[in-house]
Structure 1
Amino acid sequence: MSSPDWTLVRNTFRQTWGYSDFRYPQGEVVQTLLQQQDALVVLPTGGGKSICFQLPALLGGGVTLVVSPLVALMENQVQALRQRHLPAAALHSELPRSQQKSIINALQTQQLRLLYLSPETLLTPKIWQILRQPSLQINGLMLDEAHCLVQWGDTFRPAYRRLGAVRPALLQTRPPGTSLPIAAFTATANPAAQYTIREVLQLRSPKLFLENPYRPHLALSVIHTYTPRQRKQKLLKWLQKHPQQSGLVYVRTRNDSEELAQLLQKQGFTVAPYHAGLTPGQRREIERQWLTGQVPVVVCTSAFGMGVDKPDVRWVFHVHAPLLLSEYVQEIGRAGRDGKAAQAVTLISEPTGWLDPSDQRRQEFFEQREQSLQDKAFQLSGKLPRSGTVEAALSQSPQAAIALSLLHSSGQLTWLDPFHYQIHTTKPRRTQTNYQAFEQMQSYLRDRRCRWQVILEAFGFGSSIKPCGICDRCRSRKH
């Protein structure tokens, strides 16, 4: 595919999205993809990442595959594209069979320019067989919310670890000289995460677009609490002080989401719980009510908000701090996308944890669960054949996919294609463990420096800004 004239590119951008011009580095990313080069794009939440791959896809003749982690995220982007009468679809298991069939037919007959799907859907034998057809023109593979590969790829979503084998396998069935660019997009990737994304996806000399996540209008603060009851009281006071403002209350578990929403509803607040345990229909309805302002506040787990574009969110309130700093930056990034003043408040137990040990227990629970998964998977990895298929390994144990993923992460396994593996007898490679990532978050909560400076240092932008002047640490120095 030859790169189109830049005047045509800009005109298409203006006519389709209505903006007068690109924001840096949107134009440069679009140019990179039109020139069929790989890219790693780290742009702050609200930085317009999706346009960077949607525009080149619309200008091409074939289909661009967008690998996305959540159905809600896919549906939101596809809905926005369809409102502009653009040929896009999302393929996932929540769709009725008839709709899935219709989308697959549109894919095979080259009627789609963008197809959104999860790593697991991409690697189902039926879809893979269609994608391998030499007659199907594929213009690129885009990984949206690429930090999920790092956060979830080892244990929770092991299919992510097989994505690096997709391009070579697809090119095998294409004419020599065919190129298939891969680009990864995220708002949060520290240097270690950037390395993992590049390595797993096997990016070829990618162009790097790395913008720091700093939001000058977003005031960060961390408040110590001494009892679980005080935690709830602080949230109640916050809601009373900010009536009718659009906000998100983050908790860590489904039970917390349900219980806290019920408590707030009894106090007369219009809120809704949101978590992965709800039906797809219930989740879509809550998203719609929040986006339209019918329900100003959602009490949610991390399942909510990724890629949801609502500019007027005035605050994000963490009743429980996330375990990972990258998760935290993603979640606070949902506030103040309109560039106006916004706040992010996080509650944590007092330092000793004697009066309220819930934070300590929660962290220990997640660490133990992670360790238990890894221990089981590594035990299993010794029993797996040295080479074979994912399907055969899964017939031995449902944990086999995680075992293969962890072996790949430690440098002891190669994916021959997305379905066949080869285990080596090499010494395991040391990688950044989630335990180290947990420590990074704890360090942010305890550090006495400007909150934004701590975040930027962790993400590799150490000298990017002076003290922000609006976080709780900066404000306390002023006073």
Structure 2
Amino acid sequence: MQSIDAWENVKLAFQNIWGYSDFRPPQGEIVRALLKQQDALIVMPTGGGKSICFQLPALLQTGLTIVVSPLVALMENQVQELREKGLPAGMLHGELGKSDRAATLKAIESGKLRLLYLSPETLLSKPVWERISQPQVQINGLILDEAHCLVQWGETFRPAYRRLGAVRSALLKSKAEGSQIAIAAFTATADPVTQTTLERVLQLRSPQKFLINPYRPNLKLQVKTICTPRGRRKQLLKFIQSHPQKSGLVYVRTRKDSEELAEWLQKQGLSTAAYHAGLTPKVRRTLEGDWLHGKLQFVVCTCAFGMGINKPDVRWIAHFHPPLLLSEYVQEIGRAGRDGKVAEALMLVSEPTGWLDPEDKQRQQFFQSQELKQRQIAQQLSDRLPSQGNIEAVCRQFPQGEIALSLLHGTGQVQWQDPFHYILNRAAVTQKITQNLAVQRMNQYMTTKQCRWQFILESFGFSVEAKSLGKGCGYCDHC
């Protein structure tokens, strides 16, 4: 238990760095848990001030806190903000210049950094792993930011996520006796299944849980069924025009979609641009700045946009295509109305049969068939993989090796001894695949007649809060 004086110093540091007089619940409790080196699982709505909860403890301790982040844009935004305050934060990613990379690696060795942002792939790369494993490099904590990405992307798209649970024990082998490394997972959306997966994969030890429901009474939800691709564009245009000069975001699912739709909307006289991960870092930063400062009314973006970007006055979000998962949807609508004023979220969906506009159905079927194909390859490969070995050798021999090991880890057939060596147990009972259930939940949301906020709250395990809304929220198209 921290003394009152020590806690006053924590609050003073918070005030000096961020200018706030006190924490918002449950920020203070989370900061206390991390300062005590306790594992934690934090589910807080977008805009709830999650990053401060791990940045402050990191800055108050000697040693390094590693922040695993899924997107370069997200790392750059957070590190830039910290550096502008003169705080010792660094990042490593593939788009970094050689001299910046060398300077950051040197800063790790000399103990000059308090926060290091990187992706799971960079964390497990040889140059980084060698440096953080050095006995003199003190590691205080491993923070998983946007932790839902481990579940959404970890099996097929970003398999390195599945090896993060072996990081702590491997690092502690090279550290002084009695060293501790706390692990904390932060996300805005995690249903009970996702929470269980995070606990299991990250090997959290009796984690402190802070679960805040995503309900936002200022956010009005609407789902509109459209019958043709032309009708979809017209509905979107009508929605945007009903919010003249108001800041917003249009979400699409692919890079190609973002470019084609942005071009069409520009021809309608609207101030917009396409944003996706295929653009250069310089172009992405320019577009973010133009949107943040009102030079662009909105951007037509993939899920690569918005994580960690704080713009309080976003008045509307439009989903031109429905997201595959309800958790993605809640993440993306959460970027609107952070200032507490009324905001709207519209999702456009094809009529359920798919006869007149098969786009949504085809998109979902493609996603599911790709995933099924990868699972089949993984099962076939499991018979050919050595029963134990290292990931480097497997990847050299089998192009799909890393994804196969990741999928087999998801079904309980692979155990990681450390982040680079595995044991395969073919006789293990395979666990149920839950991604398809999550896809079904999204489909149910699109067609439900229930209050939409009640549906979301129930889906994320907040049944009591859903009941407290009584006959409905009064803020969605069903209420």
TM-score range, shorter chain: over 0.9
Contact 2:410 2:431 in 1 (8 A): no
**Aligned twin of 1:439:** 440
Report the Cα offset of residue 42 of structure 1. Answer: 0.4
**Aligned twin of 2:120:** 119
1:341 matched to 2:346: no
**Aligned twin of 1:468:** 473
Report the Cα offset of residue 432 of structure 1. Answer: 3.8
Matches within 5 A, 1:50-199: 50-199=51-200
**Aligned twin of 1:358:** 359
**Aligned twin of 2:269:** 268
**SS of residue paired to 1:463:** helix
Contact 1:65 1:114 in 2 (8 A): yes
**Aligned twin of 2:34:** 33
Deviations, residues 137-182 of structure 1 (Å, cap 9, x unaligned): 1111100000000001111000000000000001111122211100
**Aligned twin of 1:429:** 430
Residue identity opposite 1:189 in structure 2: A
Matches within 5 A, 1:270-349: 270-349=271-350
Aligned mates of 1:40, 1:105 — CA distance in 2:
31
Contact 2:192 2:461 in 1 (8 A): yes
Contact 2:44 2:214 in 1 (8 A): yes
**SS of residue paired to 1:193:** helix
**SS of residue paired to 2:321:** coil
**Aligned twin of 2:13:** 12
**SS of residue paired to 2:463:** coil
Contact 1:192 1:432 in 2 (8 A): no
Aligned mates of 2:422, 2:250 — CA distance in 1:
42
Deviations, residues 38-86 of structure 1 (Å, cap 9, x unaligned): 0000000000000000000010011110000000000000111111111
Report the Cα offset of residue 375 of structure 1. Answer: 1.6
**SS of residue paired to 2:462:** coil
Residue identity opposite 2:128 in structure 1: I
Residue identity opposite 2:41 in structure 1: L
Aligned mates of 2:299, 2:189 — CA distance in 1:
23
Residue identity opposite 1:212 in structure 2: N
**Aligned twin of 1:458:** 459
Deviations, residues 80-126 of structure 1 (Å, cap 9, x unaligned): 11111111011111010111001111111111110000000000011
Aligned mates of 2:62, 2:277 — CA distance in 1:
37
Contact 1:42 1:188 in 2 (8 A): yes
Aligned mates of 1:409, 1:63 — CA distance in 2:
30
Aligned mates of 2:280, 2:241 — CA distance in 1:
31
Report the Cα offset of residue 352 of structure 1. Answer: 2.1
**Aligned twin of 1:242:** 243
Aligned mates of 1:425, 1:255 — CA distance in 2:
41
Contact 2:382 2:426 in 1 (8 A): no
Deviations, residues 299-344 of structure 1 (Å, cap 9, x unaligned): 0111111111111110100010001000000010111111110000
**SS of residue paired to 1:21:** coil
Report the Cα offset of residue 407 of structure 1. Answer: 1.0
User: Structure 1: 5+ residue runs without aligned partners?
Assistant: 475-479
CA RMSD of aligned residues (A): 1.1
Report the Cα offset of residue 192 of structure 1. Answer: 0.3
**Aligned twin of 1:48:** 49
**SS of residue paired to 1:23:** coil
Contact 2:191 2:460 in 1 (8 A): yes
Aligned mates of 1:144, 1:126 — CA distance in 2:
22
Aligned mates of 2:432, 2:30 — CA distance in 1:
30
TM-score with structure 2 setting the length: 0.97
Contact 1:381 1:400 in 2 (8 A): no
Deviations, residues 351-391 of structure 1 (Å, cap 9, x unaligned): 22211111111111111111112222222222111100000
TM-score with structure 1 setting the length: 0.97
**Aligned twin of 1:258:** 259
Aligned mates of 1:314, 1:428 — CA distance in 2:
48
Aligned mates of 1:287, 1:374 — CA distance in 2:
37
**SS of residue paired to 1:473:** coil
Deviations, residues 227-269 of structure 1 (Å, cap 9, x unaligned): 1000000111122221111100011111111111000111111
Aligned mates of 1:82, 1:414 — CA distance in 2:
39
1:203 matched to 2:204: yes
Report the Cα offset of residue 425 of structure 1. Answer: 2.7
Residue identity opposite 1:371 in structure 2: L
Report the Cα offset of residue 460 of structure 1. Answer: 0.2
Aligned mates of 1:369, 1:432 — CA distance in 2:
14
User: Structure 2: 5+ residue runs without aligned partners?
Assistant: none
**Aligned twin of 1:477:** none
Residue identity opposite 1:372 in structure 2: K
Contact 2:273 2:299 in 1 (8 A): yes
Residue identity opposite 1:392 in structure 2: A
Aligned mates of 2:235, 2:51 — CA distance in 1:
37
Alignment size in residue pairs: 473
Contact 1:317 1:345 in 2 (8 A): yes
Report the Cα offset of residue 279 of structure 1. Answer: 1.8
Larger deviation, residues 287-296 vs 147-156: 287-296
Aligned mates of 1:19, 1:233 — CA distance in 2:
44
Aligned mates of 2:58, 2:393 — CA distance in 1:
36
Aligned mates of 1:382, 1:280 — CA distance in 2:
42
Contact 2:251 2:303 in 1 (8 A): yes
